[in-house]
Amino acid sequence: MSDPKPSRRRVLATGLAAAAGAVAGCLDGSVTGGPANDDGDGRVLRLSLDDAGETLRDGAVIDPAESDPRWNQAAFAAARDGERYTAQYRKPLPAATDDPTYAVHEETYYRLDSVVVNEAVETRPVLRLFEADDDGETDNDDETDAVETQTLPESDRNAVEIAHKSTRARGNPGGVPVGLVERGGYVYRDADAVDASELPAADGPDRVTYRDSAYRVEVTREQFYEPVYRAVAEPVAESTEGMEAILRAQTVGARIDDDDLSADAREVIEAARHGGYEESHPYSDGYAELLRALHERPYIDGNVRKDAAWTESGSERIRYGDRYYDYRLRFESA
C-alpha cells in the first residue's frame, strides 16, 4: 500500500546496507501513515535499539572466581558465612543503590551491600603542598632544602602526587579530582602507611621537589568523623533462572513478541535495530502501534510538543523475542 507522506520517515541504517535498504523499501511501500499534514514543528522522533544480549546476568553479576572485583573478598566470604565484618571509612562491599551489585558463589547469588552501623572519631595527618616561594625564601634555598619525591617511601610519593593536584588547582578553574583530594590535600588513613612514611613525621622534610618544582610541606593533624560499615551478602537466588527473573523484574519494561505486532510495526522495530528509525508527527500506524507497545503513550496521546518532552520515559530496557534491548526515544531536527 502507498504511503500518504513518505517524506515523514527515514531509516537511519549504518552498515548492513543491503538489509537496511530492503527494510527502507518495505517501510516506504507498506507502513500506513496518519493524516497527510504534519505538525510543522520541524522535528522528528527518533527510535534506536541497542542489543543487550540474551541474558541479563552477564552484565549484572560478578563471579569472583573468574574476575578480580574491586571490593574486599574477605568481607564477601565473612558475610556469606554470617560473620560480622566491619570496615571504617571505606565500604567493604559495594553499597546497594538503585543499581545493586550481585555476586555468585557456588551457584548461589547474593545481593551485596555495605550499611553504616557506627561512627568513629580519628585524628589523621593531612598533607598540603604550597609553592615554595610563598614564604619569601629564595629559589636557591628551596633547591637546597627540597627532597626529591622519588626518594621518599611509596606512601609519601602517592601523597605528594595527590596533594599536588590541589596545589595546582588553587586559583585556577577546573577544580580537583573528587574522591582523591580531601580538605585541600591528602589524608593519610592507613596506620601502616603512616608508620612507613617520612612526611608526617615530626622531623620530616620541610620541602619536596615534584616535577622539577619545589614545594613547601605542611602536615597538620585533624579530626575526622568516619562511618563504620558492615558488609552484607544476602542470598537472593539459587539458580540462574531465579537470578534472571530478579533482574528482569528490576530492569525490564515492555515484553514484546513478534505475534504482538502488526507487519508494519515489525518493520519499524527491525529498522530501529539496524541503526535507527524516525518520523515526524503525526506518526504512521506502525510507529504509533510500536510506541504503545513500548508504553510510550505520552509521545502519541498527549501534547507531543510539550508533554512528551517532559515525560520521564523515553529510554528503557525491553525484551523483544528472545533478546533484550535498550531503546531510546529522542526528538531531533528534521
- Whether residues 142 and 222 share a domain: the answer is yes
Does some domain include residue 136?
Answer: yes
Main-chain dihedrals φ then ψ at residue 187, nearest 5 degrees: -105, 120
Does some domain include residue 239?
Answer: no
CA distance 218 to 126: 8
Of 227, 262, 292, which residue constitutes the final position of a domain?
A: 227
Does some domain include residue 282?
Answer: yes
Q: Residue 220: beta bridge partners? A: 126
What is the domain range of residue 158? Answer: 122-227
CB 139 within 8 A of CB 207: no
Hunting for cell 558475610 — which residue is that?
79
Of 192, 227, 262, which residue constitutes the final position of a domain?
A: 227
**Nearest of 242, 245, 248 to residue 107 by alpha carbon:** 242
Distance of CA 287 to the CA centre of its chain: 31
Does some domain include residue 281?
Answer: yes
Q: Residue 118: beta bridge partners? A: 228
- Whether residues 136 and 216 share a domain: the answer is yes
Domain count, the chain: 2
- Whether residues 223 and 274 share a domain: the answer is no
Does some domain include residue 27?
Answer: yes
pLDDT of 304 reads 64
Looking only at the bridges linking them, the beta strands covering 315-320 and 252-256 are parallel
- Whether residues 167 and 223 share a domain: the answer is yes
- Whether residues 309 and 214 share a domain: the answer is no
Q: Which three cell numbers stand for residue 326?
A: 535498550
Q: Which three cell numbers stand for residue 215?
A: 614545594
Of 211, 227, 243, which residue constitutes the final position of a domain?
A: 227
Per-residue pLDDT of the chain (334 residues; tens, 9 = 90+): 334 333 334 444 333 333 344 444 444 433 433 333 345 567 899 999 999 999 999 989 999 999 989 899 999 999 999 999 999 999 999 998 778 999 999 999 999 999 999 999 999 999 999 997 755 554 555 456 899 999 999 999 999 999 999 998 887 766 778 888 999 999 999 999 999 999 999 999 999 999 999 999 999 999 999 999 999 999 999 999 999 999 999 999 999 999 999 999 999 999 999 989 999 988 999 999 999 999 998 888 766 656 555 555 578 999 999 999 999 998 888 7
- Whether residues 143 and 222 share a domain: the answer is yes
Enter the pTM of the model: 0.74
Helix (H) or strand (E) holding 244: helix 240-251
Q: Which residues contact 166 (CB under 8 A, 6 or more apart)?
A: 128, 129, 176, 181, 184, 185
**Nearest of 5, 64, 12 to residue 35 by alpha carbon:** 5
- Whether residues 222 and 271 share a domain: the answer is no
CA distance 274 to 13: 5
- Whether residues 222 and 259 share a domain: the answer is no
Does some domain include residue 159?
Answer: yes
- Whether residues 263 and 190 share a domain: the answer is no
- Whether residues 168 and 260 share a domain: the answer is no
CA distance 270 to 243: 29
Burial of 294 (0-12, 13-18, 19+ CB in 10 A): buried
CA distance 275 to 256: 19
For residue 7, which amino acid is it?
S
Does some domain include residue 20?
Answer: yes
Does some domain include residue 177?
Answer: yes
- Whether residues 151 and 210 share a domain: the answer is yes
